[in-house]
Amino acid sequence: MMRQYELVERVRRYNAHTDEALLNRAYVYAMRAHGTQIRASGDPYMSHPLEVAAILTDLRLDDATIVSAVLHDTIEDTEATREEIDTLFSPEIGALVDGLTKIKRLDLVSKKAAQAENLRKLLLAIADDVRVLLVKLADRLHNMRTLHHVPVDKRARIAEETLDIYAPLAGRMGMQEMREELENLAFRHFMPEACATVEERLEALSRESGPLIERIERELDAKLAASGIKAEVSGRLKRPYSVWKKMERKSVSFEQLSDIFGFRVIVDAAEDCYRVLGVIHTTWPSVPGRFKDYISTPKQNDYRSIHTTIVGPGSRRVELQIRTRDMDEVAELGIAAHALYKDGRAGDKDVLARESRAYSWLRRTIETLAEGDNPEEFLEHTKLELFHDQVFCFTPKGRLIALPRGATPIDFAYAVHTDVGNTAVGCKVNGRIVPLLSELHNGDEVEIVRAQGQVPPAAWESIAVTGKARSAIRRATRTAVRKQYAGLGRRIVERAFERAGKAYADDKLKAALPRLARTSLDDVLAAVGRGEIFSGDVVKAVYPDYKIDRAAGPAPDKGGRGWFGIRQAEGLVFKVPGAEQEDETRSIPIRGLDGDLPVKFAPNGGAVPGDRIVGILTKGEGITIYPIQSPALTAFDDQPERWLDVRWDIEDTERHRFPAQIAVTAINEPGTLAQIAAVVGENDGNIDSISITGRSQDFREMVIDLEVWDLKHLNAIIGQLKTKPVVSRVERVNG
């Protein structure tokens, strides 16, 4: 733990006129106030405020800020009072400590209840005196450095809060160095596996590219020296969080990143920055679209620099930042780099407003709040701009929802509640109906239109930005598909038991699960519905003495046949009236022979070779062929005498197309139908007809009648359609 004289010495290094008595008095007061309190690490609690003060001495801040850091937890965690601090130190320091206490009591939030009000209070406190933010950021930085001592169940929440609130605030105030450290510490605890992977890859790249970095530095130095420019050149690899964020934003792998190397060129004057740029661009080719001049047009947080990317030595793409020493100090320290807190003028906020665009902007937003009728207007139009990487939207009741840039109403719905997302069918943004694919902006009021029984389309997963929305969509679609197959499997199983003359009960099937290598009843039923388990095997698992009469396979056809034939199977034989039967497994005649019954397919969906099929006899109409999974078969459950178990008997030399029907849910945008038709054509399918209906503003439902060779052919077309980004869902229609 830092000793009293060490704290004084740290301040004296940059402020020879420091008030040593004030620092000593604060040290002793805090030490007595915290007494025997212990941190989670086991260290004396006093070590924490001293480390916070040490971080602020690195920023070379004034005495009042350093003393406030030493005292920042006293009102909150000890018997100390605001009045006592005002008396012993000063009202100025008392106000700073009190402001920090109020922020701590807010717990800054996580994005849970009352976040809008919490964020409003925080910014009001910061705008009153920006030193509150500097101490708070230093406090959070030390807490993140020691986060490994905190219970595991709290680390992710604290790390997420740091990424959501504190790191963006540091960036908004121009404190890039602190922002990067906060981001990387949070990354390590919030996404440990991703962080470890990126760090490992960067370490390996550093070992491989160390000589290359040194070579680029030497060549840059030599070129600039030859042109008479005095400059300092330094290179480094990007930070892990920055690398991961870029991989996620651009959806690229680590190997595809082309500018992991970053170099900084520091010169004495602004005009030298442009001279350096001229030398670099006339020596190495620049990458188009990768040049930005923040010197002529500074960022709102006072950042000034020239950015360019070149194909440098070794044909490696490298990013260059060119700036002066003063610009570099502001870029790293932000608002803390200004002279206000370095020479004792802490009370002159007008000086800071002139020197710091970031703080000036913050002051203006507070004035907007003071002039407005309600804080919501302020939240919607100004304050939310603090967070470059986030957008903040509102529910109709005023609840604030924080989302990443590029988020859509789909992400918003799932952020409100999973059930809201799962039942979303439309939305209104600021009172206007807009597509669910629309990008949200700061201050938008979003109302989600819901419909019970709705299942989110699988295509939403590729549209959603947030991990919560994506995982919820995957879970909902899996559940819906599983439920559909389980319902179908139950009907097939119950029918199989009925035909076998055996009693069916869920309890009996549960007892037989080990014999079916499944862990739950739904697993078995869904597997039957998908065709992975034969229904007769389920009967045998429950009744081991049951004998399954399996057909050996199609026998040669001895009778005449029209354009396709169907063979009886599984021990059930239908004798055609008036037709001579040579044996019990002969083909059912189709047409062209005396005594044949007409055969047709189910009106919706048809059937194709490869389907397990059944025939339904209708007097005066003949036989209708259904796939075994057709829901229409439930209408004949109470008429077993009409059921015929049949199978395909198609010779390989015969090529005939068969009718099938698919339902496609596709994104409503130009070119969608052309892409779908192209897939069918490229896979040798034939479209008979298409009907299109609008389920919502974002999607269209298409029912397509196809002609295909067999089930494999049909599945190939469906599989290809699923790969198209414009397609949300494809499934076969079984009438």
Catalytic status, residue 77: yes
| Highest averaged pLDDT of the listed ranges 3-17, 330-344, 449-463 | 3-17
Q: How many CB atoms lie within 10 A of CB 484?
A: 16
Which one of the listed residues 9, 43, 76, 445 is annotated catalytic? 76
Q: What dotted CATH number matches 4-190? A: 1.10.3210.10
Mind listing the pLDDT tens digit for each residue in 404-426? 778 899 999 998 988 999 999 99
Q: What dotted CATH number matches 389-465? A: 3.10.20.30
CATH number of the domain at 194-337, out of 3.30.460.10, 3.40.50.2000, 3.40.50.720, 3.40.50.300?
3.30.460.10
The whole-number pLDDT of residue 138 equals 92
Identify the helix (H) or strand (E) that includes residue 184: helix 176-190
Check: CB of residue 705 under 8 Å from CB of residue 657.
Answer: no
Degrees, nearest 5: CA angle 287-292-297: 165
* Residue type (1 letter), 495: R
Catalytic status, residue 645: no
pLDDT-derived band of residue 471, with 50, 70 and 90 as boundaries?
confident
Residue 378 has pLDDT above 50, yes or no: no
Domain boundaries, the chain: 4-190, 194-337, 389-465, 475-542, 566-648, 658-732
What lies within 8 Å, CB to CB, of 651 at 6+ separation is none
Check: CB of residue 706 under 8 Å from CB of residue 685.
Answer: yes
Mind listing the pLDDT tens digit for each residue in 714-730? 988 998 898 888 888 89
pLDDT-derived band of residue 584, with 50, 70 and 90 as boundaries?
very low
Q: In what order do the strands lie in the sheet with 622-627?
A: 587-588, 566-568, 643-648, 613-618, 622-627, 599-601
Mind listing the pLDDT tens digit for each residue in 615-668? 888 876 778 888 888 888 888 877 877 877 677 766 555 567 888 999 998 877
Considering only CA atoms, give the Rg of the chain.
Answer: 36
Which is it for the CA torsion 176, 177, 178, 180, positive or negative? positive
CATH number of the domain at 658-732, out of 2.10.260.10, 3.30.70.260, 3.40.50.1360, 2.40.10.10?
3.30.70.260
Instruction: Find the mean pLDDT for residues 512-535.
Output: 81
Q: What is the dihedral of CA 285, 288, 290, 293, to 10 degrees?
A: 90
C-alpha 721/C-alpha 412 separation (Å) is: 28
Q: Which of 227, 175, 195, 185 is nearest to 335 (CA)?
A: 175
Which one of the listed residues 9, 58, 77, 329 is annotated catalytic? 77
- What 346-354 contacts at long range (C-beta under 8 Å, 24+ apart), as own/partner pairs, is 346/62, 346/64, 346/65, 346/92, 346/131, 347/92, 349/129, 352/130
